[in-house]
Structure 1
């Protein structure tokens, strides 16, 4: 670890969106009552939100009951070590113009399944951190603050 570098840096909002836009897969967290689910999804950034496709099933049913979601993307490869968390409100796109705009996005299912429903998550907040990995410092070298 670079001795002059902080082990963790808070990313500003623009840096968070840049990292989100550079990825294709993240994890969507939903909750209905006491049940919390986390599923991998492929997505695209669209403005200050994300769009993904899905089919009928538990994910879509859960989103229709409670659209409050958390979405997380990270990268821990080579020199890139960061995590971005987006909190927002998910809604199924049903307006003809919104669906047409979503269909024009570079978003295709990763697996050979029909996913006819487009969902948009409008961000209410986005936060992120970048990490500098290295050995744990010695306790006697760390000043309490």
Structure 2
């Protein structure tokens, strides 16, 4: 752990994954040939990997086209005056075997919308960057 200043602490990959596992809402960034998209989604962490469900559409098409993704999640605790943010660079792949899909069914990924989301996607982290912040008032400028 490095401390860039008294308000920010760099997290280890293990600490980052532990914090990710406490939340269920994150953002997925995908890239296509000449375009980038950001998708809010619910997720689960299992054995150091990120999982989400999706229907057929832009998100799944993009992951199949380019496996390299960014995933971000954060949390603000106003009572404790702290926040954290974790960014993962990794590779995403749709789960294809029935054994993988059946296992992923147990990770607690329920659709938020009343829609069918039959596709499970796994993100394997390559680089995990996390920071924890102590929140406070802006200091005097002058």
Would you say same fold, with TM above 0.5?
yes
The range that moved more, 101-110 or 22-31, is 101-110
Q: Any idea what the Cα deviations from partners look like across 1:87-122, whole Å, max 9, x if unmatched?
A: 110001001211111112211111111000000001
Shift of 1:137: 4.1
Shift of 1:43: 0.6
Q: TM-score normalized by structure 1? A: 0.88
Confirm or deny that 1:129 pairs with 2:137: no
- Provide the C-alpha distance between the structure 2 equivalents of 1:14 and 1:109, rounded to a whole number of angstroms: 27
Structure 1 residue aligned with 2:17: 17
The range that moved more, 101-110 or 85-94, is 101-110
Structure 2 residue aligned with 1:90: 92
Confirm or deny that 1:74 pairs with 2:74: yes
Structure 2 unaligned segments of length 5 or more: list them.
none
**Correspondent of 1:115 among 117, 121, 124:** 117
- Provide the C-alpha distance between the structure 2 equivalents of 1:133 and 1:103, rounded to a whole number of angstroms: 37
Shift of 1:138: 5.3
- Provide the C-alpha distance between the structure 1 equivalents of 2:23 and 2:10, rounded to a whole number of angstroms: 19
Number of residues paired by the alignment? 136
Q: Any idea what the Cα deviations from partners look like across 1:45-94, whole Å, max 9, x if unmatched?
A: 01111110001111111111001000000112312311001111000100
Structure 1 residue aligned with 2:8: 8
Structure 2 residue aligned with 1:103: 105
Shift of 1:34: 2.1
- Provide the C-alpha distance between the structure 2 equivalents of 1:113 and 1:87, rounded to a whole number of angstroms: 28
Shift of 1:135: 3.3
